[in-house]
């Protein structure tokens, strides 16, 4: 099992995508696929692919993205070094965090996990 991290996005190899995972299409251009948008900076985590011989299938289930790569792919981000993902199935998640300040502002006592804002 391999684990990788690029900023607030984590990658982990899995045996296969779970049953019921649905194909996802979020192409930015013919050669790039946006894995995650940066909410604060506007910078995205982008996977570069070859449009003619894509070699990648992108699935999604329960908020987790699954990349089925038949060839290596490169993930880039303006503020982080590139990550090279080898062939296989990768689970891709954005990290999570608790927004304690918003909880105080809302007058809530419980802790509510929220998707991280980059």
Residues that bind another protein (CB under 8 A): 1-8, 10, 12, 64, 77, 79-83, 93, 95-105, 107, 111, 113, 116
Min dist. Cβ of residue 52 to another protein (A): 28
> What one-character DSSP code corresponds to residue 100?
H
Nearer to another protein, 54 or 116 (CB): 116
Of 91, 77, 118, which is closest to residue 3 (Cα–Cα)?
Answer: 91
Min dist. Cβ of residue 31 to another protein (A): 21
**Residue spans of beta strands (DSSP E) within 7-115:** 9-14, 22-23, 32-36, 45-48, 56-61, 64-69, 73-77, 80-85, 88-94, 96-98, 113-115
Nearer to another protein, 28 or 86 (CB): 86
Min dist. Cβ of residue 84 to another protein (A): 8
- Alpha carbon separation from 21 to 30, 38, 66, 108 (Å, rounded): 23, 24, 8, 35
Nearer to another protein, 25 or 63 (CB): 63
Nearer to another protein, 20 or 113 (CB): 113
Min dist. Cβ of residue 97 to another protein (A): 4
């Amino acid at each position: 099992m391999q684990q990788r991290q690029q900023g607030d996005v984590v990658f982990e190899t899995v045996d296969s995508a779970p049953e019921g995972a649905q194909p996802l299409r979020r192409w930015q251009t013919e050669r790039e696929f946006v894995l995650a948008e940066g909410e604060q900076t506007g910078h995205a985590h982008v996977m570069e692919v070859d449009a003619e011989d894509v070699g990648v299938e992108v699935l999604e289930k329960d908020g987790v993205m699954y990349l089925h790569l038949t060839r290596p792919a490169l993930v880039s981000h303006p503020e982080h070094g590139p990550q090279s993902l080898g062939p296989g199935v990768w689970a891709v998640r954005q990290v999570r965090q608790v927004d304690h300040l918003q909880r105080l502002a809302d007058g809530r006592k419980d802790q509510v996990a929220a998707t991280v804002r980059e």
